[in-house]
Structure 1
Amino acid sequence: MLLETRGLTASYGQFRALFGVDVTIAAGECVAIIGANGAGKSTLMRAITGILRNEPGMVLHKGEPIGALSPAAIMQRGIAMVPEGRRLFPSLSVEENLLIGGQMRKVAGPWSLEAVYDLFPILKERRRSPGTALSGGQQQMVAIGRALMSNPELLLCDEISLGLAPVVIRDIYAALPKIRAGGAAMVVVEQDIGKALSVADRVYCMMEGRVTLAAPAAAVTRAAIHAAYFGEAA
């Protein structure tokens, strides 16, 4: 198992956001995390990547406890995140933003500057532009490319379609199989259930900080998703 959470809890001060979350991610697979706003999806990503610290044994990477490690140490282990809101460096160009990803974890792998440009050709055209001068969709491509430049074993994508036009979402989702072909496992956090299921091997649904459904994406029914998503009877 590439990554596993065991009874994962997380809090923001006095507010408990996750309650005993158990998820698993195998090498090379794509897992979708779905749920409404406030379900705990982004909090789960922050806990996995060390932004929210927890007990060491609550997050395991290749069987080793990493729950108390810093975000930098977790990235060095090959876990990278595309954060919600993209969070590009506004003073840097597109290419400089991408190169920072490579500096964070210098390991050999399929992803280089040219490989990212092959994946998203528009970025090569705009490589000298400030990252924040791009459209929302192009900024999302930069954020994905920056994470890929670290050649991760596990790529966490937090709300990658949020606020984007349908045509841009289509282009980004078309790139995900190419990313998987490079060998990385993926977690896709998404509110668009159809998009999530279209790329995932397995799906987890969260509600109010708990997992309410865990199933193979190809087998899960709309009724089961509805019940897990809204806490209603199927």
Structure 2
Amino acid sequence: MASLVETRGLTAFYGDFQAVFGVDIRLEVGETIAVIGANGAGKSTLMRSLAGVIANSAEMVLHRGEPIGALGAPDVVRRGIALVPEGRRLFPSLTVEENLLIGSYGRQVVAGPWTLESIYALFPILKERRRNPATALSGGQQQMVAIGRALMSNPDVLLCDELNLGLAPVVIKDIYAAFAKIKASGAAIIIVEQDIVQALKVADRIYCMMEGRITLTGRPSELDRADIHAAYFGAGTHELA
């Protein structure tokens, strides 16, 4: 049976600069994986490739066994893969509710658990602030809007790129607490994280990247700090099934 999402020898470029080299990852139904690594490791490039923001060869990215690497972002969203981008990328001229509604436009015919009301149940503060300009909210509340916007497409894959950048620990805790409900809705999740401890808490499996390559794979219960430190900072390559 095909994985929900899989990359096969994925390479990705920004212009003439190659950022990802032959990356193989897989995501199964109902699973959460975390991609960890330092700045410049290629994590965000990987996520942008999965989301169709960066075009690749079709066979380098598979969704339910079908090649999608050459599809653009709108078509990837229609297939059920939604990105919460690094930096949130909200529309400053729109309200919270308008930003959320934009997320539903790409998959209007898809029924699912996520509606305005279910997003407001997940993040109650957004209902209180729904008429406010989205960028007038705190950083944590803006991140909730970005997650809610992605969920409004009722994806089966949610891609979360660096959710915790610039946020206070208590806010990060609240955001990650929502992941149990997101998984319970049926969505599988890929998280990009620099915070190793947070990644180990939420992930079923870990991929570590350095300089555009996978340097470690495994389940949190199988990995020790020495393995992770070596893979993160560069003392060899390790693979744990």
TM-score normalised per structure 1 = 0.98
| Structure 2 residues without counterparts, runs of 5 or longer | none
Q: CA RMSD in A?
A: 0.9
Query: What is the aligned partner in structure 1 of residue 76 from structure 2?
Result: 74
Separation in 1, partners of 2:81, 2:220: 23
Q: How far did 1:104 drift?
A: 1.7
1:155-234 matched pairs, under 5 angstroms: 155-232=158-235
Kindly provide the amino acid, as one letter, of the partner of residue 198 in structure 2.
K
Q: How far did 1:217 drift?
A: 1.9
SS in 1 for 2:215: strand
Aligned length: 234
Query: What is the aligned partner in structure 2 of residue 21 from structure 1?
Result: 23
Query: What is the aligned partner in structure 2 of residue 33 from structure 1?
Result: 35
Q: How far did 1:192 drift?
A: 0.5
Separation in 2, partners of 1:91, 1:13: 31
Q: How far did 1:232 drift?
A: 2.2
Separation in 2, partners of 1:81, 1:217: 24
For residues 141-192 of structure 1, the C-alpha deviation after alignment (integer angstroms, 9 at most, x for no partner) is: 0000000000000000000011101110010011111110101000010000
Separation in 2, partners of 1:95, 1:153: 22
Query: What is the aligned partner in structure 2 of residue 102 from structure 1?
Result: 104
Query: What is the aligned partner in structure 2 of residue 52 from structure 1?
Result: 54
| Structure 1 residues without counterparts, runs of 5 or longer | none
Q: How far did 1:230 drift?
A: 0.3
Query: What is the aligned partner in structure 2 of residue 83 from structure 1?
Result: 85
Kindly provide the amino acid, as one letter, of the partner of residue 122 in structure 2.
L
TM-score normalised per structure 2 = 0.96
For residues 90-126 of structure 1, the C-alpha deviation after alignment (integer angstroms, 9 at most, x for no partner) is: 1100000001111121210111101000000000000
CA contact (8 A) 1:159 1:188 kept: yes
Query: What is the aligned partner in structure 2 of residue 122 from structure 1?
Result: 125
Kindly provide the amino acid, as one letter, of the partner of residue 147 in structure 1.
A
Q: How far did 1:13 drift?
A: 1.1
Separation in 2, partners of 1:127, 1:184: 25
Separation in 1, partners of 2:38, 2:132: 35
User: Percent identity among equivalent residues?
Assistant: 69
SS in 2 for 1:218: helix
Moved over 2 A (4+): none
Separation in 2, partners of 1:196, 1:128: 34
CA contact (8 A) 1:201 1:218 kept: no
